[in-house]
Each structure stands twice: as structure tokens, then as C-alpha cells.
Amino acid sequence: MSQDPNSRRGIFLLTLSGWDPSASENSPSGDSYDGNDPKSFEEVNNVTDSRFVVITDLGIMAKKSLDGSRDIFVQSIHSGSPVNGAKVSVISRNGSVLFIRTTGEDGHASFPSLAAFQNERSPVMFLIEKEGDVSFLPTTTDYDRTLDFSRFDIYGEVNPTDPRTLSSYLFSDPRNVPPGR
């Protein structure tokens, strides 16, 4: 019997906590603290961190138009091809579903402007589901949810002094070049 390939996919909460192996070996309860360490007992035993981990084949890209409408594109991370028939839902802050769309053959789903939804009905994420696989993308533009460009060189080249000069770069996929060229 083969295992369902989606059984290892999903959204998981991973929680890590500190562990002192010497404390565990010296105490039957594992909670020993001799008082000589400058760290307090709480600092030694309560170091934790949690993260959401998403394991999925559903890659998502969202675009917002000037009129506020949203276009969602879903593609397979494994094959790179558009995902047809994926269910795309807009989930609000209170957990209700505001809209549901299904992607077409091009992996695209459209939504109207979400600006009218406020307070508990304000949208917080796009939830994508397909055959047991799930992924999500936040809808907010809060500062902590955007890509910080401060560590990336995004300034480009300085314009040449001669305005008639044009610099360009050509990129091509080498797999599409005929042999012998």
C-alpha cells in the first residue's frame, strides 16, 4: 500500500525549547539548578521559540491592482506548472470565509477589492487548498510581512552622462537555444 504523498504536507507549529543535558543527568527530575550559574533558573529552562513551518507544493503569488482587486497565481513548486482546480479562499480576522474561487488552467484566480471589509471581517490571508495540500499567503501589508530591501542592492546603475547612451542586458534560457548556436 502506497502512502499518500500529501500526508507529509501541511502547516505545522514547531516549538523549540532549551535543554541542558548536564542538568538532566544530575537530577532525577531534570530540573536541577545549583545557583552558581549567573543565569537564573527561568532563563536556563524557559528558552523557547515557535515558528510556523509550511510544507507544500503550492507556490503562491498575489498582485494588487490600482482598483484594489487581487490576482492570485498558484503554481507547483515541483514542476513549475500552473495549478488548475486549486481552491483559493479569502479568510477574515474572525475566521469567516469572505470569498472562494477556483484557479483555472493558468493557475489564476481573481478577487474584487477587499477594502470594504473592516474590523473583525478584515481579510488576513489567502488560503490555497488542492487534494490535501495546503498553503497560505498573508493579505496584509503590515511592515513585518513585507520584504525588507535594506539588505539588498536595489539602486541599479547610475545613468550615463550622455542621455543618448542605453545600457541593456539580455537573458535567455539556454535550454531553448538550438544546437550549434
Provide mean pLDDT across the span 103-129.
94
Task: Label residue 155 by pLDDT band (50, 70, 90).
Answer: low
Whether residue 32 contacts residue 69, with contact meaning beta carbons closer than 8 Å, is answered with no
Q: Which residue has the higher pLDDT, 152 or 16?
A: 16
Share of residues in the chain with pLDDT > 90 (%):
40
Q: Where are the beta strands (DSSP E) in the chain?
A: 10-17, 48-55, 58-64, 70-76, 87-92, 97-102, 108-111, 123-130, 133-138
At the top level of CATH, which class does the domain 54-138 belong to? mainly beta
Reported as a single tens digit per residue, the pLDDT across 56-82 is: 999 999 998 889 899 999 999 989 999
Reported as a single tens digit per residue, the pLDDT across 119-132 is: 999 999 999 999 98
Provide mean pLDDT across the span 146-159.
60
What are the structural domain ranges in the chain? 54-138
Q: How far apart are CA 54 and CA 154, in angstroms?
A: 29
Q: Where are the beta strands (DSSP E) in 29-176?
A: 48-55, 58-64, 70-76, 87-92, 97-102, 108-111, 123-130, 133-138
Which pLDDT value is given to residue 8? 75
Q: How far apart are CA 20 and CA 39, in angstroms?
A: 13
Provide mean pLDDT across the span 100-120.
95
Q: All 3 cell numbers of residue 70?
A: 487581487
Q: How far apart are CA 37 and CA 134, in angstroms?
A: 45
